[in-house]
Amino acid sequence: MPENIYGFKYNQYGNTEAIIAYNKGIILQTNNYTNKGLAYSDEERYRLKLIGALPPSVRPLEKQVVNSADKVAGKEDDIERFIYIRSLFDRNVTLAHALVKSDIERYMKIIYTPTVGLACQRYSSMFRTANGIHFYPGNIDQAENIMRRFVHRNIRVAVVTDNQGILGIGDQGAGGIAICLGKLMLYTQGAGIAPWHCLPISLDVGTDNKELLDDPYYLGWRHKRIRGDQYVQFIQRFARAFRAVFPNALCQWEDFSKQNAFAIRDSYLHDLISFNDDIQGTGSVTLAAILTGMKIKKEKIIDQRYLIHGAGAGGIGIAEQIETAMIEEGLSEKVARSRIYTLDSRGLVTTDRALEPYKQKFAKNPAEILWMKESSDNTLENVIKNEKITVLIGTSGQQGCFTEQVVKAVHQNTDRPMILPLSNPTANCEALPEDIYKWTDGKALVATGSPFAPVEYGSSTFHIGQCNNVFVFPGVGLGIIASGAKEVLPAFFTAAAKAVSESVTDEAMAKGELVPPVSELQDVSLKVARKVGETAISADVGRLCAFSDFQHNNDPERLRELIMNMRWQPEYLPIIRETQE
């Protein structure tokens, strides 16, 4: 019996043109890459020895999608719909992705935000099939050998989490891998990175979630989280093994705690092809919304004053991206940084406090804050009024903290205030869009982190753009892979933000929309990939794509051809027979 029952045949662009079956018979139905369900043709059933293993009728992919959509609709709630789609993925990858593609706006809410948060919390109780890799202190020394089991899949992107900072709900232990699964489905939906090239990885270093530790059915490593040198050594072992096995693959760090997120990102900037989506992806998509807002306002980003309420990984990532964009527009680092204010649970972040290293960059000198004479002055509303804030961004996870007084204070500083309540899930949103429009007489420019229904105000209907990282990370990943980038530069995320903003039509901007609709994900991802790939070539960090025989020779036109043609679409591929040596 060969080690693998399947392999892949690629075209010159590195896209899969056929599945190679090293076995025949019903074993093909047990693998989610080779299984087509009832869609095997009569010829395939004969050639692959599947005669009698299936009912006689052939059901093509289009009918399978309709049938699966009906089954999803019949489920009683979104978590049951999540379980169905994940189970479908485990049986038939192509059908699962064809279903999601048929209505990406609808199904993304199920496979990712907000439903995936519940999936993380209920991971152990609703476990069906193992996915990806689970590293923990008992097997991390074998990391290289474990990852080599996946070499035949030509891994191009891995999403890696230590499960600690999940979607505003915190430490979810082993359940955090559900985030990786969801993100990778979106890499496929947006960028066309085939699911067999994707690898979810959980770095299970324990959990401080008492409810999980007390749960007799909890599936993770049942210990308190390791910290300090022990944690650092664990990450180092993983990183060394990943680089050895997948030297050309992208490693996306996901949902690490605030300080670990920055420390790990910065430690491996040059050792791995890696980035942190919570920091850089969040910063990029928020910058995209701001760039669109500037077009609507006919103003410049360098003329705004920014307040970010929530100084965690996402908040500081946004601050970093805004700073980078303003520097590109001609400001010095010092001046750009002076226009960005950050708040945490203790108020305005200032240098006289004991701060985590990642917060220090944007901390203000209290001696220069002349209006803050008493500690009681250090409030969100006072910062807005005294520092003339025109762009208010929420990453705090504090429901309703953007009150009527707060929003009106921003409106006092500008005719078109930008109010971006970005916290996930929906229950943590800093303000409801309908309230923001009411408090600003429909003048506000709004985008949210979670999906919201359109808002009716006066004679206008406002479609609420979702400031979702999904507009950024798939295209960034594809651009990196296609260009053969040796490292991930901050400029990639500025390029991605511009591409996302350019995807918003004039008609949409006239209605105050700041980001494109999720239904346009594939087109947006393609534009982002092109911008990122071109930026990599211009910065001389690109090389020939390691996953393709197509020679772009760092020529932008050839690169665009590669990007266009290396994307997989959820359509059944031919299955060819071959004997494995």
What residues are labeled active site? 112, 183
CB atoms within 10 A of CB 169: 17
Check whether the bond before 516 is cis (ω within 30° of 0). Answer: no
Name the 3-class secondary structure at 409.
Answer: helix
d(CA 434, CA 461): 11
Measured between alpha carbons, how far is 110 from 95 in angstroms, rounded to an integer? 16
Cα–Cα distance between 15 and 498 in angstroms, integer? 27
Q: Give the integer Cα–Cα distance in Å for 278 and 421.
A: 16
Which two structure tokens, joined as six digits, stand for 350? 């200032």
Please give the single-letter amino acid code of residue 307: L
The full DSSP string for 460-525 is EEE--EE--GGGTHHHHHHHHHHHT-SS--HHHHHHHHHHHHHTS-HHHHHTT--S--GGGHHHHH
Looking at this protein, which amino acid is placed at residue 271?
A: D
Helix (H) or strand (E) holding 393: strand 391-394
Q: Are strands 455-457 and 460-462 parallel, antiparallel or unpaired?
A: antiparallel
